[in-house]
Amino acid sequence: MSIHRQYLVFCMRGVRYGVALDSCHEVNLRSRVYPVPRARPHISGIMNLRGEVVTVIDLPSMFSPSKGEASSGAVIRLKAGEHPIAIRVDAVEDILTTENALEPPPPHLAEEHLRLIAGVIQTENGIVQIIDPQGILRV
């Protein structure tokens, strides 16, 4: 029996990542992120999403330490954890529906990355690294 898995594919630093669709709540493009002083690293700030205050995590900085550019890009609100949380990414692409299995991530990744990556999916267009929301929460 084939399982259709749906992932939301997005782009960061030119690399395609994905997150399980049922982990997503919403995608928002016009996002005004308000920075919070003395927040933990990788926290961009907070934003108002349909009346709710959501913490925004800057995902690119999790993957590469250099704090990238501004708060342009898309915000994906995730269904995870108790508090509302969202990740800021560079661009949202599409919904990927695939029957391919989630393969384990390549072993050469760094330790902290391995925590974040649930696995990889092969597509016609290349490899999509699937993010594990729990891993993000744990950071």
Partner 1 sequence: MKAQGMKDAEKKQMNVTLTGKERIMDDGDILVSMTDLKSRVVYANKAFLKIAGYTQEELVGKPHNVVRHPLMPRSAFKDFWQTLQAGKPWNGLVVNRATNGDHYWVDANVAPRFENGNLVGYMSVRRKPQRDQIEKAARLYRSVLEGKATVPSSLRKRMSLKAKFWLFLVFVTVVVMGLGLDAAFDLLHGKVAVGLSVVFSVLTLAVGAGLSNSVLRPIKEAADYARLIATGDLSVRIPHDRNDEVGDLFQALLSMLVNTAAVIGQIKESVESLDSAAGNLTSASTSLSAGLDKVAQQSETFAGIASAATQMNTNLQSVTSSTEEMSISIQEVARKSSDSATVAEKAQITSREMNSLVKELGVNARDIGKVIESISEIASQTNLLALNAAIEAAGAGDAGKGFAVVASEVKELARQSAESSEEIKDKIGAIQGSTENVIAAIGSITSVISQINEIAGSIASAVEEQAITTREIASNINQTAQASNDVTASINNVSTAVLSGAQESASFTRLAVDLKDLAGNLNNLVTRFKLSSNGAGTGTIQTMQGSQEMTPEFV
Which residues, 69 to 108, sit near partner 1 by CB under 8 A?
79, 92, 94-95
Cα–Cα distance, 126 to 16 (Å, whole number):
9
Strands 85-89 and 126-131: unpaired
Residue in 29, 36, 39, 109 binding partner 1, rule: CB under 8 A: 29
Question: How many residues contact partner 1, by CB under 8 A?
Answer: 14
- The residues that bridge with 11 in the sheet, in sequence order, are 16, 91
Residue in 12, 17, 18, 24 binding partner 1, rule: CB under 8 A: 24
- Residues near 126 by beta carbon (within 8 Å), at least 6 away in sequence: 16
Q: Are 69 and 14 in contact (CB under 8 A)?
A: no
* Closer residue to partner 1 in complex, CB, 43/80: 80
* Closer residue to partner 1 in complex, CB, 6/125: 6
- Which residues of this chain interact with partner 1, rule CB under 8 A? 6, 8, 21-22, 24-29, 79, 92, 94-95
